[in-house]
Amino acid sequence: MRHQEKIAVLIGDVALPLIGFFFWDWGFYFIALYFLIDQFAKQVFLLPRLVSAQVILPQKAIIFAKSMLLFLFQILMILLINYQLNPQFNLYHESINFIMYKDMGIQQGFILVPLLFAAEWLKLKTDNKAIKSSDIKRFKINHVLKQAQILLSILGLLLGIINFTLIPEFLVVFIFLIGIGLTAFVPVTKKE
């Protein structure tokens, strides 16, 4: 991952949710939902990435299935963490609150969600122009899958910690955001 991409990850995936936690009263679920919408945008643009990387059909299906399973397990882990933090957690109510949350008179769901999809689309366009080699594009797709596996492990560890101890929500947010930030620094290896 290039330095610019690492900085973008740290700003978009860590700094913005941290600002939301401290200044906009975002809880863990708000931050996790922001993260999941970002991951969903990556899932939507995975197929065009696979086509651009000239991945053959059986491998496309395997990579897409693996990516979807990782995403679904991330959703499951985040929901379980939320139910452990707050047994009265209401998925529907909290999701609507996220979409309808107003800051400066603007509902964030109508700005933030399209912004996340636009950022992923721009990243795809930039990668297609900057990276001509299909091998490097495939390498990058595998690297993203490795990052998702590491983050899923961090979510599992976080769920385990929450099951055995009562920790405050700010600590859960902190561990979650540290995990996201650390995935930006996963080394790229030749085995991918």
What tens digit of pLDDT does each residue of 118-173 get? Answer: 989 998 898 888 877 888 888 888 888 888 999 999 999 999 999 988 889 999 99
46-95 confidence digits (pLDDT tens): 988 888 888 888 888 899 999 999 999 999 999 999 999 998 999 999 88
pLDDT at 88: 92
Cα–Cα distance, 143 to 36 (Å, whole number): 18
Cα–Cα distance, 91 to 97 (Å, whole number): 10
pLDDT at 105: 72
DSSP percent split of the chain into helix, strand, coil, nearest 5: 80, 0, 20
Q: Are 145 and 67 in contact (CB under 8 A)?
A: yes
Residue type, 145: L
Q: Are 171 and 87 in contact (CB under 8 A)?
A: no
pTM: 0.85
For tokens 């490795």, the residue is: 146
31-40, 124-133, 169-178: segment of lowest average pLDDT = 124-133
Cα–Cα distance, 174 to 14 (Å, whole number): 9
Q: How would residue 2 be classed by pLDDT, with cut points 50, 70 and 90?
A: low
Q: Which of 94, 90, 93, 110 is nearest to 102 (CA)?
A: 110
Where do the structural domains in the chain lie, given as residue ranges? 3-183
* DSSP helix/strand/coil, 107: strand
pLDDT at 92: 92
Distances (CA, A) of 100 to 44, 112, 114, 131: 23, 11, 14, 38
Return the number of other C-beta atoms located less than 10 Å from residue 118's C-beta.
Answer: 11
